[in-house]
Structure 1
Amino acid sequence: MKKYQFFQLGLLTLSLGGLFSCSEDDSPIVVPPNETGTIEVNGGGETYPNSVFINLRATEQTAVSRESWDLAFYSGTEFKVLINGTTGAMASATGQTDINAVGETEIAAAEATGELILSFTNLDGILHVDDPSTPLSNPVIEAISSTEAENEVYLLSRGASGVEAKAWKKIRIIRNGQGYTLEYADADATTFSSVEISKDSDYNFVYFNFEQGIVSVEPKKSEWDISWTAGTSSTPYPQAANGTLAYFFQDLVYHNTQNGVGAAEVLEADIAYADFSSEDVLSFSLNTSDRLTIGSHWRAGGGPSSSPAVLTDRYYIIQDTEDNIYKLRFLSLTKAGERGYPSFEYELVEAGQ
């Protein structure tokens, strides 16, 4: 684990009096993490318009509109692009590599099958979304090849889950040195636009909106730990493709797996929240790959026969990118009865060393 180094000033009394300085060897200031906190998540209300990114160290949250972006370009070593699962976006490969060759025929085929509509009746839906748990391991858009001719054109539904439906797009992405070139147009257009997108190592992704261009969405990768959002999830279903059904869920909680944040679930029956201490940490394996380790597991109900409610029999352990370890439990789903404002409390169990 990393070791906090607290800045100590060495005072040097000068003959001129009243002035102080510190040596060039002094360590930089490192702000210790907050030890406790309670956060009421600003999800925006009952229509859950926001995704909210939360920094536990600072007890801070950043709320952004779910529909503020369309594509997320990975800034890591691989060349991968995600679609906006928080709006229920879906995509389908066309088999074409010329964007102008894609049009009415491909649109009609997709409309006939309903493959780009996220619903419980779309048994092939999981084939047209990024993997909800590990999106970078299985994105619907194939990894961008260094061989330009291997990069296909995709039809893209921008999603209509809790947001207003927008016209479909067609897109093709190729490599541009260490970045990307995006070709895009309305699905039935005969011309297209293109834009170059550079990676930014301070962020997990660079986000793009078809109307606004590059937009700011998630904070720097070192400045958030978990996020609350509505988005595409999945559940086992034997009749569906790959035995998995894709569907839309209102209260998902991701953790920042792209930057090494880990999470684990703890049951009160095993160790009570109040009793969990640093001595218990090694008893749990922190998951740094499945961003849905918390996911929807913190709440129950919400179907036709029951109202949603926080599950009080469990809580979560979070290890941030500075190796601080927290315990976290959800307190409520609503604010004054209104959905979209869940709350939770957390406590530092062990500071990074």
Structure 2
Amino acid sequence: MSGQRLRVGVVGAGNIASIAQLPSLVARDDVELRALVTRRDDPEPLMRRWGFQRAHGTVDAMLDREELDAVFILTPRSEHVHAAKSALAAGVDVFCEKPLATRLDDAEMLERIASEHDRVLMVGFNRRFAPVYESGRSAFAADGATFCVAQKNRAGSEYRATFENAIHMIDLLRWYCGGEPIEVTARAAGVDPWQEDGLAALIHFDNGHTGVLMAARNAGNWGEKLDAYGDGVSAEISAPDTARITRDGVTTIREMTPEAYGWATATHTLGFAGAVDHFLQRVRDRQEPLTSGREAVKTQALLERILSAAGLPTEEQAGREWSSHAKK
């Protein structure tokens, strides 16, 4: 496949897709946007905007009629399973927005199908590809940081805030701390278990490392940061702009200012572009992605343990869904 243009299909072109993945795809000259799956009665504006050759009403119709190398699934999470299962079974590599599924057993099933069909399956945990988080993680050895505190606070709550949003920080805690979780305690705030005001968790890993999650949805403003410590190193990350790494009393500061980072947008600073590039490289070289289906299953398993420990439901509430990736 080296040197050939990758034939790509995209399922969903809503708000997040338009901000995050689609700008990265159209910027590449080795990608051919072959097809779009959309609910719109008139898909022409979307096709013209992004350069799609054809539009289809369903995933199955697209897979039946197109020759594709990869599919990007950028829909609400309730639609991930059918689209990913169909694409993987058709022999197409899949990039799926997080979380991979609404249920852990479905996520495990998708990972198993990808393995059986020798397909690349990657989940969009883009924070691992954000320059500031990459800089912080690289300051520690392979076994990770001894202590890590990850916070994602945001004014206002919404349906399944921890499941949809704080899962990024749970994935970062796994990546930074290493090991597998052996003990989880958690507390939630708020009266609606599906629309919690926030959640805090303490996670002990089998390598002796400890992670702390804080996700306050009743905060005064948006804020995302991570502090990690171990082996004489401190990493202080203020996303998406600053990484402060201190080793032996010497601090190195990396700032993603517009001047220093080429007037970068959130597409780059929060790792969306890096995730897209990483997936497409894995499609070409057939190696396992950093945020593979296998990794995504482990993150979702830890998420379920945190929700259960906090007394929150792990299932979806009938008739409700989070619409940040609303399909268009």
TM bin, normalised by shorter chain, reads: under 0.3
Tell me which structure has the larger Cα radius of gyration. 1
Higher strand proportion: 1
Compute the TM-score of the two structures, normalised by the length of structure 1: 0.25
Structure in which a larger fraction of residues adopt helix: 2
Task: Specify which structure has the bigger relative contact order, considering alpha-carbon pairs within 8 angstroms and separated by 6 or more residues.
Answer: 2
Q: TM-score, normalised by structure 2?
A: 0.27
